[in-house]
Amino acid sequence: MTRRTTVVLVAVLFSVLAATTACSTGGRPDPGSPRPPTAPPSPPSAASVDPNFDSGLNIFITSTGFRPHWLVAPFHGTVTWHNDTGRSQVIVFDHQPVRSGVIRPGGTFSYTPSVPISIAYHSGLGRQRRGVIQVQA
């Protein structure tokens, strides 16, 4: 074998190895390779919400009432109530036949409005806790 033939064979061998490695991982980096750490998304908290008026998808049931009292939510977004009290809670809509059932301490209740609407609701434990959701298109 000549030196030129040996160089060509070695080059072909390296090409085949490189192609085989790329195909075995689907052209993606090896899943075992180190990746930079990523922080998990932080859960929402009542402290980050304006107590009176806010936009978003989260409502917190606190010892002082609903936070925010008035929420502006996007159409087809899922609104979630978070029970941050030490006792079970119930959410009741004033003008729609929606009732959450028991929300245990630390639990949640979610509702996805299907149309732009204004929703008045209250605590099933007493009407002194009230809130409003304005769903915008």
Domain boundaries, the chain: 46-136
Q: In what order do the strands lie in the sheet with 70-74?
A: 53-55, 70-74, 126-136, 118-123, 91-93
CATH of 46-136, one of 3.30.70.260, 2.60.40.420, 3.40.50.300, 2.60.40.10: 2.60.40.420
In a structure prediction context, what are the per-residue pLDDT tens digits for the chain, which is 137 residues long? Answer: 565 555 444 454 445 444 454 454 454 544 444 555 555 555 577 667 777 789 999 999 999 999 999 999 998 899 999 999 999 999 999 999 999 999 999 999 999 998 999 999 999 987 789 999 999 98
- The SS3 of residue 109 is strand
φ/ψ of residue 128, rounded to 5: -70, -25
pLDDT at res. 51: 72
